[in-house]
Structures are given as structure tokens and as C-alpha cells.
Structure 1
Amino acid sequence: MAHRSDDRLEGKAALVTGSSRGLGLLIARELARRGCRVLICARDGAELGRAERMLCAEGAREVRALACDVTGPSAARRLVDAARSAFGGLDILVNNAGIIQVGPVTAMTEADFREAMETMYFAPLRLVLEALPVLREGGRERGGERGEGGGRARGGRRERGGGRIVTIASLGGRVAAPHILPYAGAKFALTGLSQGLRAELAAEGVSVTTVVPGLMRTGSHTAARFSGQPAREYAWFAASAGLPLLSMDAERAARAIVRAAERRRPEVVLTPVAKAAVRLHGIAPATTTRALTLGARLLPRAGPDPDHAVPGRRAARLLGSAAVDRVTTLNDRAARRLNQRVEP
């Protein structure tokens, strides 16, 4: 899809799911800095309120917040209706909400896989289907009142087409790493959906950008859930996510994501490691699989009496490792900065 002269984001209405903390909060912040009106949502109302105050204190032009579980049966309609009520329509939909469960497949349950699919595939799907009619309109009537029957607004002009969908997928949705299989399976499905939507909706003027991030320093290690041997699973996951050579500064990632949406790029892969992994898997899938197999052998086994879904904060206390704490320093700072709850 060609870049158009009217693709600036100023004045656009955006909905960002999972935006009370971490990457979602940063994407909302970056959109607001570019002049967007932003609706943020998350399940935790108190956390969402803090995020709204943070954005307003930083000079966001117009921010609204709606506490909402995106997996709920009426969530998609509530969110789209809220955007239309607050802003007159919707121009940008960012499907970011997600969860991550870490541990061997033998420590997971079918419910873990279903929860991942509901959160990271079916919830985005429902939102896309609900938002499409509004995105096809190009959002809003600007400079006047809404006209009868969807025609030109009185005293203004009607902008048609040009909606954007941004899908926050993952490297895990292109290369299935061990010990995150519920997450990887849902992200694979989401990546396929996003790429298919790109092809189908281009003719209607709606662009779809698939974002494939690698590890980012968002503080998500504090919110991840660990099964099997939680302390040992936390050790490798938190250390990997916090190392500068493996992970990316989250603020820089958010800027790259919003820039890709503005330019209507079909895909953006973040971090050098993620780019290398995607290319290697495309050129030599068997070699990639052998490398992942070797890596899986180094990861902890479930054990005879595996724990299930232990939050990252508790897993860190169980581990009690000063060495891991030092490695995760940058990520811990990001957690505090990005509204992640780090206290016990």
C-alpha cells in the first residue's frame, strides 16, 4: 500500500488494548505525542487509572480509559462504542493485549492454551470484526456534525478510508521457542490472521501492520506466569529479557511501531536477534529446529510435582539470586517506569 500525503497521525482516534503498562502504555504515549486521541484499556482499573494520569501529565492531547477484559463476550463492542462516543469514530486499532506463560509443556494445561488463544487470537479477531465498519469509514466527520445516512457532515468534510490495524505479534509467532508454547501457538495464529487481513483489506483502504518484536525491556518478567520449576524458569527468562545484547529498549520499540503504522508498512521485525532468527528460520528451518532442540535440553524439566502459574514477582523471591537480580537491573527499572507492579 503506497504512502499517502494524508497519512499523518495528528488528530486520529486510536484504541490500544493492554495499554495500562509495558509496551502498550508506550505505544499509547507515542501515539499521543503525535497528536492522536487515545483510548486505553486494561483489566485492572487502578493500574489503568495510573496509566491515564501518567499520559495526561506528559501532555497527551486527549486520553480516555475503559477498564475492560478483552476476552469478555461484549468487550469488542464496548471498546468500539467507547471510541465512537469519545472521539466520533476510530482510525487506529492496536491489538496489543497479551499474556505469557513460561514452562515445559508437561507443566501446562489445556486451559493455559485456551486462555492464550482467547487473549491473543480471538479477542483481537472480535475487535477487528467490530471495528472494521468504522475503520472503513476512515473514522470521523471532522469540522462539523454527522450527516444523515452517513453522508457529508454539515459544515465539515467526511474522511473515508485510511483506517489502520496494528497487530503486536511476536518472534514467538514466527519461530516457536520451547517453554512458551501457549504463547507461541496463539501468536502464530495471530500472525497468520494479521497477514491475511493485510491482503484482504488493502483494497478497502485499511492497512494492517504486523509487528514481530523480539525481547524487549518492558518489565514483563514481573507479570509473566511460571510453571514447572518457577524459580529456574524465571532465572532464564528474566535474564534473557534483561540483557542489552538480546533485548531492545522498549521506548525505541514503541517509536518504531508507531512509525511503521504511520507509513502503513506490512511488517516490522524488531531487534537484530529477531531479524536474524526470522531469516535463518526462513532459509534453514531444519537447522533452526535443531538449535531450538538443543536449547530445550538446557531448560528445566517440570519435576515430579510441578507448580503452576506462579507470578514472576513470587518466582523471583523463590529464586533469591543476586546474580539474576543484577542481570535484570535494566528490566526492573523499566518495570517501575512503565507501571508494572513490582512489589510483592
Structure 2
Amino acid sequence: MAGPTARAYARRGTAWFRDRTALVTGGSRGLGLLVARELAALGARVAVCARDEAELARAADTVRLDTGRTVSTHRCDVSRPDDVEALVAELGDRYGGVDALVNNAGIISVGPVECTSPDQYEAAMDVMFAGPMRLTLALLPGMRARGDGRIVNITSLGGRVAAPHLLPYSAAKFAAVGFSEGLRAELAGAGIAVTTVLPGLMRTGSYRAARFGGRHEREFAWFAAAASLPLLSMDAERAARAVVRAAARGRPEVVLTVAAKAAVRMHGLAPATTVRMLGLAGRLLPAPPDDDTAAAAGADVPGTVARAFGQPAWSRHLTGLGEQAARRWNEPHGV
């Protein structure tokens, strides 16, 4: 199905991206792929980067088939400073600069705190804070020189309200939110708009690429179901359109999903009560394994492997929409 036309976007006041160069990190699958597709439909020159070359090739095919436009693909691990430096140089040679940066790359670790390790926190910080920070600082001088630009930081509801069994992810997203909000204040009056995006759960099938610790199959079951249910999660195509509209208009913040908006407001009004409620919810989640070996800190597995251990029937029934999205938006295949 073809994506929205540039004319339709222009009517919504989002024509800023036409003939601009935009970089989307983590653009090979899920929300990143959809944002890249939306930008291409607007007439932007789109570059996407990710770690997997095969995923990048499939993403480029998806954008071309849906919009009739091509995107350039770049292998880059944003957690590696050398990769970031090489990417910035490559984009400078090819396009002369980047007008819009969408920091979307991320990793998710799901499991009880007893099953996490310092390495997982460091990896999360490298991908979701240090990587965006390095890319932003590298591309910012060019935007300042032009007096124009857009920086979009895809953070998370978890960067405002920390949920149980997602601590490495939430810690990194809290850092990303702080960087994004502070950056907007720093750049006020410079012609560069910084938009902080706080999505709740979205139906992209990204749970296949998440990593699960503790009782792997049980953690996968609840997380996959939550990320697939319409009342808890948001259609990813709608989410991508909302991100692009907010960026083009230079909005300071956008919170995606009804559940996320409610959680943010509640936390702002009654933070102690919100944390107590999250504590009660955490008691319903799987306990750490009794086996010390199975509970080893950092002993997590990809979602595709966790599902292969045995997904309960109730979870399979609730993940139908998530599985459709996973197949469509280039998430990892099963094992």
C-alpha cells in the first residue's frame, strides 16, 4: 500500500521536509522504517542507518515500492564513535549536510532487575543516549551555519515514567529526554527546532527484536501481548505520521498513545501514587528464576528465541496484530 502523498502532507502544513536531507537512525525496521517512508513521501532526500545490511536492503525496497522514491542506506552502529564519525563524513560528501536528524535507534531489555547486568545498562546508554548525542553534536554546526534544522529524538514514555522490568531501557531514555529538552532550550532562537517524542507501546512487532531475561518465555508473553493490544498500543503508521507532523511544525514535545498521555499526566500530578501503582503492577510480572544459573545477570535472549521456548496460548491469541506488523515492518523472523 502506498504511503501518503506529499500533496496531502502539504495540506497539513508539513511541507518543510521537501528537498531537505533527513537522516533516520534505526531506520531499517519498525518505527524508524515508517518515519523514513513518510519523509520520502514528502520529497525529502532520506538516508537510513542501522547495523544489519540485509535489513537495510529490505527497508530500501519497502520505501521504493510504497513511495516510488529511493533512500540511501548506511551500515552504522551508533554506539560506536568511529561508526558515527564515518557516517557523518559519508553524508557530508554525498549530500553536503543533513537538515533533519531523527534519533530513533534503540534496544530493549525486558526482565527483573535481579537479572540485569551493568553491561546491559551501558549498552542501553551507548545506543539511546551517547549515540544520539554524538550524532547531534557532529551535525549541529552545519545546522547552525544554515540557521535552520530539525532534530527529532524518539525517546519513550519510559523516559518520563519508569516501568518495572525495563530498567536499562528506562534509564537510557530518561537521559535521552533530558538531553533533548535541554538541547531545545539551548537552541532557542537558532532556527533549529528540537522535538522530543515520547511514544507508548506501538504495534511494530519490535518485541521480536527485544531481549528477554529471567523467565524468558513469560517475560516475552506479557510484553508481546501488551505491545499488540489496540487499547494499550498504537498503530505504527499513525505514530510515524504524528512524528513527522510534529517535527515539521517544530513542536517541542509529542506524547503518543492514549495510555502514555494518561500516564504522563498522572505522574505529573501525583508522582508518588504513580510509582506505588507501578509497584503493584510489577508484582504481577514474572518473578526471577529460582535457578541461579538461569537467573544469571545479563543472560538474556532475543525475542524470537524466547518465543521458541513456548509462548502461552493466551499470549499467541493477543499478539495477532503485532505479528502482522512485524511481518510488514521488517522485524526479525522467528526461529
Task: Identify the TM-score tier after normalising by the shorter chain.
Answer: over 0.9
Match of 1:210 among 196, 199, 204: 196
For the 8 Å contact 1:235–1:319, the answer to whether it is kept is no
Q: Which among 9, 13, 16 is matched to residue 21 of structure 2?
A: 13
Q: Which amino acid aligns with 2:165?
A: H
Residue 149 of structure 1 aligns with which residue?
A: none
- Which residue does the alignment assign to 2:266? 280
Q: 2:139 aligns with which of 131, 134, 141?
A: 131
Partner AA of 2:98 in structure 1: L
Does the 8 Å contact 2:160/2:264 carry over to 1?
A: yes
Count of aligned pairs? 318
Partner amino acid for 1:214?
G
- Retained in 2: the 8 A contact 1:7–1:263? no
- Which one-letter code corresponds to 1:39 in the other structure? A
Does 2:220 correspond to 1:234? yes
Superposition deviation, residue 311 in structure 1: 1.0
The worse-fitting range, judged by mean Cα deviation, of 317-326 and 7-16 is 317-326
Supply the AA of the counterpart residue of 2:254: V
Match of 2:243 in 1: 257
The 3-state SS of whatever aligns with 1:212 is: strand
Deviation at 1:20, TM superposition (A): 0.4
Specify the SS of the correspondent of 1:118: helix
- SS at 2:26 equivalent: coil
Deviation at 1:310, TM superposition (A): 1.2
In structure 2, relative to structure 1, the CA distance for the partners of 1:60 and 1:168 (3 Å cut) is farther
Task: Report Cα offsets for 1:1-28 as digits up to 9, x if no partner.
Answer: xxxx996210010000001000000000
Q: CA deviation at 1:85?
A: 2.2
Confirm or deny: 8 A CA contact 2:221 2:311 kept in the other structure.
no
Report which of the two structures shows the higher radius of gyration computed on alpha carbons.
1
CA deviations 1:71-122 (Å, max 9, x no partner) are: 1122222222222222221100000000000000100000000000000000
Q: Percent of aligned positions with the same letter in both sequences?
A: 57
Residues 46-85 of structure 1 correspond to what in structure 2 (within 5 A)? 46-85=54-93
**Which moved further from structure 2: 300-309 or 17-26?**
300-309
Partner Cα separation in structure 2 for residue 171 and residue 242 of structure 1: 16
Q: How much has 1:133 moved relative to structure 2?
A: 1.0
Task: Name the structure 1 match of 2:318.
Answer: 327
Equivalences for 1:1-344 in 2 at 5 Å?
Answer: 8-137=16-145, 160-305=146-291, 306-307=294-295, 308-344=299-335
Q: What's the TM-score, normalizing by structure 1?
A: 0.90
**TM-score, normalised via structure 2 length:** 0.92
The answer as to whether partners of 1:36 and 1:61 remain within 8 angstroms in 2 is no
CA RMSD of aligned residues (A): 1.4
Is the 2:60–2:70 contact (alpha carbons within 8 Å) kept by the matching residues of 1?
Answer: no
Indicate the SS of the match to 1:176: coil
Q: Deviations over 1:247-285 (max 9, x none)?
A: 000000000000000000000000010000000000001
Q: Mind listing any 5+ residue stretches in structure 1 that lack a counterpart?
A: 138-159
Q: 1:60 to 1:76 in 2, by over 3 A?
A: farther
Q: Does structure 1 conserve the Cα–Cα contact (< 8 Å) formed by 2:14 and 2:244? A: no
SS at match of 1:207: strand
Q: Distance in 2 between matches of 1:78 and 1:12?
A: 21
Distance 1:189 1:87 in 2: 30
> 1:193 Cα shift?
0.2
Instruction: State how far apart, in whole Å, the 2-side matches of 1:320 and 1:299 are.
Output: 15
For 1:178 and 1:127, locate their aligned partners in 2 and report how far apart those are by CA, in whole Å.
30
**CA separation in 2, counterparts of 1:202 and 1:282?**
25
Residue 61 of structure 1: CA displacement? Answer: 3.4
CA contact (8 A) 1:208 1:264 kept: yes
Aligned partners of 1:13 and 1:83 also within 8 Å: no
Segment drifting more, 94-103 vs 45-54: 45-54
SS in 1 for 2:301: strand
